[in-house]
Amino acid sequence: MVENKGIRLIKKQANRAFGKDIVLLYQENDNTFVWLEAPKWDCGWYWGFGYLETYTNNRHPENSNDTKSHSHVSSVLWNEKEKYASCFHDIQTLQGCVLTQQEDWIVVDLFKQFYKWREIADMLHTGNANVSGDAAANVIPPLYAERGQHPLYRLVTGVYLPRIMQAIMDRLHPDGKAPEIKSPWSDAEMRAMHNTRLADLV
């Protein structure tokens, strides 16, 4: 099937490479397949997601002996130094995509949501925008002795981000249902977050 602008609709694929679950996202005009890594809870405090990779074995990444390239969805779509691409179908080197143009807009909106919520979670965890190490930058009072205890941080990382990432992965998975992305927090930790009073947040 051919989409507009001559971009081919290619078959969705799920695979594994170097111990990671991956799904196919698009194909560049040199026939290189670009794969998206499944989300991973990294370093015990943030979601690693949006990582794009190409491999030495283009069509069978499970048999690759190395990664050829590593990039991020955010830099591919919203890189201000190069030509702006508002969706995957706008990438100049695109030859084929697993998404129709309508699906593309939905997935890109979900990715934008992911990055915005991830930034909020990062600030809730660190107390600042990670520009200055000066304590004067911490306008929001540190409510908890340990980082990562803020209830809003738990809500974003335990509910919002997993739901958004699940929606993206489901749309890219050939079965229409990717493996479940679970909250990194226990039921007891999430219940404590739900029981927090508004006054406790400020």
On whether the pTM is more than 0.95, the answer is no
Tokens standing for residue 151: 């209830």
Helix, strand, coil abundance in the chain, percent, nearest 5: 40, 20, 40
Q: How many CB atoms lie within 10 A of CB 26?
A: 25
Identify the pLDDT of residue 98.
98
Can you say how many angstroms the Cα of residue 23 is from the centroid of all Cα atoms in its chain? 12
Higher pLDDT, 124 or 68: 68
Closest among 37, 30, 31, 32 to 15, alpha carbons compared: 37
Identify the pLDDT of residue 148.
67
* Mean pLDDT comparison of 33-47, 69-83, 135-149, highest-scoring range: 33-47
With contact defined as beta carbons under 8 Å apart, do 97 and 7 qualify? Answer: yes
Identify the pLDDT of residue 1.
36
